Amino acid sequence: MSVVEVKTGVPYKIIIEHGVLDRAGELIRPLTKAIRAVIVSDANVAPLYGDRVRNSLEESGFEVSEFVFEAGEASKKLSVVEKMYHFFFEHDITRTDIVVALGGGVTGDMAGFAAATYLRGIDFVQIPTSLLAQVDSSVGGKTAVDMPFGKNLVGAFRQPRIVLIDPDTLNTLPEKFFRDGLGEVVKYGCIRSLALFERLEKENAADITDDIIYECVSIKRDVVEKDEFDTGERAILNFGHTLGHAIEKLGNYSGYTHGEAVAAGSAMITRISEKNGLTEKGTAERLEAVLLKYGLPVNSRFSDDEIAAATKGDKKSSGKSINFVLLKSIGECFLKKLTAEEFKELLDK
């Protein structure tokens, strides 16, 4: 077992342990006086792990109900969250009860947003079952849903009471979604850990998943503790995301997974920044080699003009500028504000 402590306004622990699903109840019970617990999961994950988590919660004295929605990014919208609110109401969920997010990034984001907003805020727990959620989205307290005009544009900050990561759940993860998570893993190597990036180059990621999870959540913990509400340094976690979110939006959130879009976005922005003398020569080639090694895209099917237009309204906008995360070299990044016109100029050079 590994434990990472997050010292935010509401501190919590991230527990990484094989088989921790079966200890969910005993680990959650000391943190809450809740009588009722709602497991929020999708139609793919619930049949695999719902009973184990339910049994564990019931053994610890919780009255358990389950809300299951259709799997996929297309469900990450307000209409599904509204159904979640209605379910909470029907099952007498009060401000002192608790929501348990069991699943990937979509589940964690939606369940967390519902918990942050229902009755002006109830506690929730993250039990991430995908690599992407385990290394990234389950940690840090960002919750959100997508809108037709942009990704994650409606949301709230709400830190979980605890994050329980069971690497065994990756054994049932389809290969496509393991690759999806690696899009975020490569990001962490690029922005903060040359050592992690080199391990991804030299070793097989599937053989070192425990180390990968621990390293990524530790990096994110360090960043989030310094900037819990995303007003400064935390922006570096968005490397590849400005263009990645544009790619997802252009594909109507079904053409590319989040990790695939981030991978393509990170390769594209690094080629642009290297071409303009902002990034050490050879960085883009090295990044692309790792992404291709793990079957991730380094381009999208959309034109530069389409992607540039789709960045309008990005969450990282400030006034007329967007904060882009660029690499100095592998393991070291910086923020650069660009207007739409300046970004277009970089594209055209």
Domain boundary among 120, 137, 172: 172
Whether 43 and 66 map to the same domain: the answer is yes
Residues 192 and 338 in one domain: yes
Interior/surface letters 234-260, b for 16+ CB within 10 angstroms, e for the rest: bbbbbbbbbbbbbbbbbbebeebbbbb
Same domain, 49 and 120: yes
> Do 73 and 195 share a domain, yes or no?
no
Is 37 in the same domain as 9? yes
The domain boundary residue, chosen from 127, 149, 172? 172
Regarding pTM above 0.75, the answer is yes
Single-letter code of the amino acid located at 278: L
Query: Is residue 260 located within the same domain as residue 330?
Result: yes
CATH number (domain holding residue 320): 1.20.1090.10
Answer yes or no: do 168 and 184 share one domain: no
Pair 108, 158 in one domain? yes
- pLDDT tens across the length of the chain (349 residues): 899 999 999 999 999 999 999 999 999 999 999 999 999 999 999 999 999 999 999 999 999 999 999 999 999 999 999 999 999 999 999 999 999 999 999 999 999 999 999 999 999 999 999 999 999 999 999 999 999 888 899 999 999 999 999 999 999 999 999 999 999 999 999 999 999 999 999 999 999 999 999 999 999 999 999 999 988 899 999 999 999 999 999 998 888 999 999 999 999 999 999 999 999 999 999 999 999 999 999 999 999 889 888 887 665 555 578 889 999 999 999 999 988 788 877 877 6
The domain of 46 spans 2-172
Q: How many domains does the chain have?
A: 2
On whether both 127 and 95 belong to a single domain, the answer is yes
The three-state secondary structure class of 208 is coil
Tell me, what CATH number does 70's domain have?
3.40.50.1970
User: 249 and 168 share a domain?
Assistant: no
